[in-house]
Chain A
Amino acid sequence: MKALYALYPDGESAQKAVDGLRAAGVTDNDITVISAQPMEDFEFGHMNSKTYMWYIACAGGLAGFTFATWLARLTETSWMIPTGGMPIVSWWPNLIIMFELTMLGAILASVATLIVTASLGRRRPALYDPEVTISGKILVGIENPSETSRPQIERALQVNPAVQLKTV
């Protein structure tokens, strides 16, 4: 992996670099911004914010609910007890099992979505600089920049003369 990046001391200068990259024609998906904490108060902190996690959590909850309904009913009907025609499936107590497994399904689905979409546990090398966590700097960079766009990217990242460009 090749990368071109710079480290910025604060959110304002990182925002300028991101705006510069956009002006140079780089799409949000190609810009990497790495910080030691969420930067929600800056516009760049909301890049790539669209997610289906809430819907996936609901689907997980639905899956849990369906499984619980099936399981609870199965346990009550699998042994033939003569009830003289009275219902054998007890829905009121089963609601408890159904509720718990619905919530468990939603929680597990959210965590699974987080792991997949945030690429946690991936082994592929990625752009990173420990200075982000050690000094609290904000990294803005591009992974695998094309040679033709490189001068423009360098200009965009050089928001002031003090900024030092780095390559990997």
Chain B
Amino acid sequence: MTPPLPNDSTITDNLLHPLLNTSWRFYLLVAFLGSIVLMGLSTWAFQMVNGFGMTGINNPVFWAFYITDFVFWIGISHAGTLISAILRLVNAGWRRPVTRCAEVITAFALMIGAMFPIIHLGRPWLFFWLVPYPSRRMIWPNFRSPLAWDFFAINTYLTGSLLFLLLPMIPDFAIVRDKSTGMRKKIYGVLALGWRGTTKQWHRLETAMSIMAVGIIPVAVSVHTIVSFDFSMAPVPMWHSTIFGPYFVAGAIFSGIAGLIIAMATLRKFLHLENYLHPVHFQNLGKLLLLMCLLWGYFVFNERLTVWYGNDTADMNVFWTTQRGAFAPLFWTMVVCNFVAPLIILGIKKFRTITGCVIASCGVCVGMWLERFLIVVPSLSHKYLPYSWGHYRPRPVEIMITISTFAAMTLLYTLFAKFVPIISIWELKAGKHLAPAHEAEPAAERRLGETHA
């Protein structure tokens, strides 16, 4: 049971407070994060001018930090829309304050993730070559390539996620429109698209959300499966595996939930949302995180055991380099962050507090980034023929660009929370307006068959 919510006008006032009032701390935070993002963009420009020699990427390790970041951010994007869609479909009452916080993560994480294949291009201004259209010689991009699949999957998911985020924002824009004056009223009036809140509009909105929730779940699963195909379609040691699809999806949901918990705790603290984001929300998400932790451990065990039992020379070279070789410290850190720590913190009820959930989530984010790094780099540096083995060491350019994406995510989230109610006001109120069941249900059933469009 979630604790009772404040009354309607208090909900509106509390949730519109960040939109209608701006403190100096907001500008300071935006300036700080913006400067890091600018440094990242400058570093990218530096890389474009001087070439990929500025990075640690080499032959044979031609995918490294950037593809790790790509997979990591696409994984984080699984927090929002997927979780929100599942909770909507099962009509979980506790979802109401959580959904928008989650959906925003998806939208921004996807945008950042989709940037990495472009950052990874030597000539990023030719990114449109990825777009499926025929060249001047009427040659199309290869639709059998996982990179073309990525284009379709990520763009479908991004479009769906943005619409899934934007549609429920329309009624909230109408609230801001009616509560504000001047230029703000005009801007939110345009964004509200003439929303009035008629029974027909509410019904159509909820139907559209249900259809999208049904559609977006398989799309979300497909996206990370297809990202895993970037690896598993290649004959590279420890990549060419049928388990990669579900393993990646489980990992993505795992890191996504962790990202969501961190975002919610931050919002709760700095926007004073204690009346809306209750400990029970964190406990429920913490249980979900624990479940995904166990699932992740199961997949890792499966993957490792199969390779070990197969005893293929090339696979075992990668296996041992991660278990007790150069990558072993990273591997065991990953195991502690992704499995041991969450299992202890979230498995013991006493520790499953907001602080406990946040600590476990921070560990999971670090662990999941390491997991992606350990999938990419050890396999590429230990391919089938030992003469092609190599080493990889990240250079400042890659580290700076990676750091700047975390700043970009925080900046985008901060700006969003400034201009849009971060908790859906109408959804929160909808949970409060319940009629006595004995009066409403028979009447509703009677009328349902009689009404028409």
Where the two chains meet, the residues of A that have a C-beta atom closer than 8 Å to any C-beta of B are 11-12, 15, 28-29, 32-54, 57, 71-72, 74-76, 78-79, 90, 93-94, 96-97, 99-101, 103-104, 106-108, 110-111, 113-115, 117-123, 126-128, 130, 132-136
Contact = CB atoms under 8 A, between A and B. Distances in A.
Given A36-B426, A45-B202, A100 B222 contact: yes
B156 A136 contact: no
B198 A53 contact: no
B160 A103 contact: yes
Given A43-B444, A51-B204, A75-B143, A100 B156 contact: yes
Interface in B130-146: 132, 134, 138-141, 143-144
B109 interface: no
B344 interface: no
29 contacts: A33-B198, A34-B198, A36-B171, A37-B202, A37-B427, A37-B429, A39-B433, A45-B202, A46-B444, A46-B451, A48-B198, A48-B451, A51-B207, A75-B132, A75-B141, A76-B144, A90-B144, A97-B143, A97-B152, A103-B160, A103-B215, A110-B208, A111-B167, A111-B212, A117-B200, A120-B170, A121-B194, A122-B194, A133-B177
Contact of B193 (A29, A47, A75, A120): A120
B453 interface: yes
A41 B134 CA distance: 54
Contacts of A46: 199, 203, 444, 447-448, 451
Interface of B: 8-9, 12, 132, 134, 138-141, 143-144, 148-149, 152-153, 155-156, 159-160, 163, 167, 170-171, 174-175, 177-179, 193-208, 211-212, 215-216, 218-219, 222, 226, 426-427, 429-430, 433-435, 437, 439-440, 443-444, 446-448, 451-453
B162 to A, nearest CB: 10
Contacts of B160: 103-104, 107
Nearest to A54: B211
Nearest to B138: A78
Contacts, number: 218
A138 B93 CA distance: 23
A41 B439 CA distance: 9
Contacts of A128: 196
B47 to A, nearest CB: 31
A32 to B, nearest CB: 6
A16 B204 CA distance: 24
Nearest to A71: B132
Pairs of residues from A and B, 6 with the lowest C-beta to C-beta distance, nearest first: A75-B140, A43-B443, A130-B178, A38-B202, A41-B435, A136-B8
B156 A103 contact: yes
Given A32-B198, A94-B143, A120-B195, 5 more contacts: A53-B204, A75-B141, A104-B156, A133-B178, A133-B179
B211 A53 contact: yes
B434 A41 contact: yes
B167 A114 contact: yes
A42 B202 CA distance: 13
Contact of B207 (A28, A29, A53): A53
A113 B453 CA distance: 13
A99 B197 contact: no
Given A33-B198, A43-B443, A136-B429, A96 B226 contact: yes
Contacts of B12: 133-134, 136
A111 B440 CA distance: 30
A113 B210 CA distance: 13
A93 B446 contact: no
B48 to A, nearest CB: 30
A107 B433 CA distance: 29
Given A11-B435, A54-B207, A133-B197, A107 B215 contact: yes
Contacts of A118: 200-201, 204-205
Contacts of A12: 435, 439
A143 B439 CA distance: 28
Given A79-B138, A122-B194, A45 B199 contact: yes
B197 A35 contact: yes
Contacts of A47: 199-200, 447, 451
Contact of B163 (A111, A134, A136): A111
A149 to B, nearest CB: 21
B175 A42 contact: no
Residue among A43, A122, A133, A134 facing the most chain B CB atoms (10 A cut-off) = A133
